[in-house]
């Protein structure tokens, strides 16, 4: 069963039994004609609806669908998403990293961010030289740089806080 939310207001339980589609436990009769290029024509209760997938984010399971000119945001949660929510693992992203610490003692060769910079997961933050090797420290989360506590040419110790995030 899928939990489908439309515009963060309306929620539906969608399931499939054989060739039947069930919404909130009731079988619905629907005819869908795929027109290609993310377009489809849907007939439901003798009414025709022209639909278009405007935007699709597979990772977040969210899409924007235009129906007869009106745009709707649709999010889908499958049984695995529902299980993770039940177990309390649905908001792991809320536990964002607050700071970056030096993984080893070394010398700061370059600092690539400043206070107020908006960063994405995987962005380069700084270059740390340790044991004659250059190590690029990358962001493990999205965020905004709150404070840069080191400068180029500075020596740091293991577990020293280098950068803090908002």
HEC assignment per residue over 73-110:
EEEEECHHHHHHHHCCCCCHHHCCCCEEECCCCEEEEE
Q: Does domain 99-165 have CATH number 3.40.50.1820?
A: no
Q: pLDDT 10s per residue in the chain (166 long)? A: 899 999 989 999 999 999 899 999 999 999 999 999 999 999 999 999 999 999 998 888 999 999 999 999 999 988 888 887 777 766 555 556 788 999 899 999 999 999 999 998 889 999 999 888 899 999 888 889 999 999 999 999 999 999 998 8
Task: Evaluate whether 114 touches 164 at the Cβ level (below 8 Å).
Answer: no
Measured distance CA(162)–CA(116) in Å, rounded: 15
Query: What's residue 84's pLDDT?
Result: 77
| Mean per-residue pLDDT over the chain, rounded | 90
Query: Nearest-5° angle of CA 70, CA 65, CA 84?
Result: 130
Measured distance CA(93)–CA(63) in Å, rounded: 20
In the chain, CATH 2.40.50.100 sits at 99-165
Each residue's pLDDT tens digit, 58-87: 888 999 999 999 999 999 988 888 887 777
Measured distance CA(19)–CA(23) in Å, rounded: 13
Does the pTM surpass 0.95? The reply is: no
Helix (H, G, I), strand (E, B) or coil at 17: strand
């Amino acid at each position: 069963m899928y939990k489908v939310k439309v515009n963060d207001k309306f929620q539906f339980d969608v399931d499939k039994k054989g060739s039947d589609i069930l919404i909130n436990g009731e079988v619905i009769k629907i005819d869908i004609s795929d027109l290609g290029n993310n377009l489809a024509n849907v007939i439901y209760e003798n009414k025709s609806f022209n639909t278009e997938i405007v935007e699709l984010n597979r990772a977040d399971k969210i899409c924007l669908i235009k129906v007869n000119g009106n745009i709707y945001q649709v999010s889908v949660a499958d049984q695995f998403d529902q299980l993770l929510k039940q177990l309390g693992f649905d908001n792991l992203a809320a536990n964002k990293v607050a700071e970056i610490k030096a993984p080893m003692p070394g010398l700061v060769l370059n600092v690539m961010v400043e206070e107020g910079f908006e960063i994405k997961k995987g962005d380069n933050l700084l270059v740390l030289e340790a044991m004659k090797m250059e190590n690029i420290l990358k962001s493990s989360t999205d965020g905004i740089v709150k404070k840069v506590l080191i400068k180029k040419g500075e020596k740091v110790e293991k577990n020293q806080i280098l950068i803090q995030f908002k």
